[in-house]
Structure 1
Amino acid sequence: ESCATRGIAPYKQVLTHGFIVDAEGKKMSKSIGNTIEPQEIQKQYGIEILRIWTASGDYTEDLRISDEIIKGSVETYRKLRNTVRYLLGALDGWSEAEALPRDEMPSLERWVLHRLAELDGQIRAAYNVYDFKRVMALLINFCGVDLSAVYFDIRKDSLYCDPRFDTQSAWDKDTAVFGNRRRAARTVMAAVLERLLTWLAPVMPFTMEEAFLESHLKDRAESVHLLQFAETPEGWKDDVLAARWAKIFTVRRVVTGALEVERREKRIGASLEAAPKVHIADQALIDAFKGESAADIFITSGAELIHTSNGNGGGFTLDDTDGVVVYPEKADGIKCRRSWKYFDPSTADPAFPDITPRDALTVKAWDKVHG
């Protein structure tokens, strides 16, 4: 009727897509027996999997589908869902009163905010031109690499062992250093969760709605689908900081590779049993660590960065990273019963001889408030 009586199409834009074909690019045919019914995928895996498969494909070409391809979509769903679930758990009890201003955050948190600012522009641009494949690629990489493999891994100790915000009334100056680190991490995670829920909602509407109703955002709207994309401050972008952390991650990747070998050879059980010595030829890589704890970044109980033209032989290297040689030595000291880090017992609080000084501060603050 719109076209016939008004001369106007009942839509503004039209998307077309190619044929749905099998894994070998062949047209589906019942006689060949290569058909896959969408209803069967929905019945076995749920409708979200079919939506992820659709959004991950290049609809400007023929779209391939098979059991193996669908299993890939299932794995994508699992990774994205687990990322959101981790954030929900990490933000238990969160309120805006706990939020820490960006200027007071450690540089790692400011790097995550930088990544959010980058992604915000990229994802908005991709959605505006219906480039769903790029949206999915950006979010899969962000969740799998930036968050799960890096940020969550590094900050796990802080979330578990730094002082909780509800003990703030008992913090002294030393305790506040660790307490504010945890506050910063949870502030950033709240920002990440808000954006992931809305960025993923068009592709995973039921899962994101379920997560939204369990989140601190549930009072903002009746549904996640009634929220707008969060406005991300341009001031979060910091290319200089990002370049510095790129150098840090270059070194971290080599250290992580060395520790994986140590675990595989059963010389250590966990990375916290190690205190690697890292020989680095490029002073700029060492300078990037200024003000940072290399041990925290490597998730070890100690670490030493040594400026040298080359290692002493026998160290671990990666072929694609020149000038970084890792000697993954064992950590000295005793194992903290709380954080599992190895530490010098002579530095322990006499009242808590079997845990690190940081953990002692956390326990004392908790006891003062809740004991």
Structure 2
Amino acid sequence: MQRAAAVLWALTVSLVFAYLGSCPAKADDLKPRVIVFVHGIHGNRDTWRAPNGVYWPELIQSDPHFQKSDVVVAEYPTPSMYGKLSTVQISETLWQSLNRQRVWEHKEVVFIAHSLGGILTEEMLLSHPADAARVRFIVSYSTPHQGSFVANLAKIYDSDPLLTDLRESNDNSFLMDLEQKWRSTQSVDGIHRYCAFEALDTAAGAGAGKYLRAHTRVVSYYSATYGCDVNTAPQKITADHIDIVRPLSRTADAYTFFARVYRNNPVMDAVEAIRDNKVSGLTVDCNRTNSANDLQVPIVLDTTLQERILSVQAEYVDTDKIREISSPAVTKIDPGGIAHISYAFKGQGRGLLLGCPVGRASILVHFKIHSEVPVDE
């Protein structure tokens, strides 16, 4: 029922999205990757603007290290008090707006998410597995995967459903269910989640601190890093919950952390190539037949390039003194890189002068390989 309601809300609630720059008119104008910024609760486009006026999305757009990526900044309905939409409802609205803005037409999609934005992104991708297949990674900044006690306090004063969804997870079935689904759903299994956490308390009256009378850590280290990539250490950002996503320059920790993750997960280009393997030394006596129903011919695949076999063809080469030749047949292709070949050929008949010559042949197998090759930026 909740997800059905989300679709209904999505038809009536508009989500404002904007490209930095003009919206491409043709599919060819889209860059291979798009970086999507998703703000947190009670945020907006200015979430990413530092006190010195520097705007993170613009920093990325003008950085040659990200030349293969478009940039999209999201806004969604989250009023400062008494909001009406739940996380599930907003995530569906978010997906529809991304669809209108042609985000899912990009080959690859990555997210920079602040606070609730990380939860919204995960919920959206679970609901849309076909589009989740395009997502390489999410970089979350102070996303409360185990909730925040600030949301518990805020619920006393504000009935916003988002605050209910962000309560500490020891009694938060929504967050517990979300994490369980994320870990058990195949469609998001390949999406990395990288995390950064706030190292400073947020002042009372500022942002989420408006519900408090003292400085506090809005999202704890454990909540911000729960469920994140185990091979990449969480990034400490010496900032509060608000300024964690407001880098003052490209040397700021928030910026360099994302840049490092981006560099370690480069844009990939699809490449197809033919790679051969030859089986030599096949012989046959005169008037005899050399045959096999399952000659297994391997090819080495590079898993780091996500190589896979698209098709296989086989032919005889280096033939001598054989007859009744029919092309070898490919009967099966194993995903691991083995082609199964069926073949048969006969040796020539006995000659008056040459006696009984030995026939020879080799089988050349052509593997058409698809690879994902990193693109230099």
TM-score higher than 0.5: no
In the superposition, the TM-score normalised over structure 2's length comes to 0.24
Bigger share in helix:
1
Bigger share in strand:
2
In the superposition, the TM-score normalised over structure 1's length comes to 0.24
Over alpha carbons, which structure has the higher Rg? 2
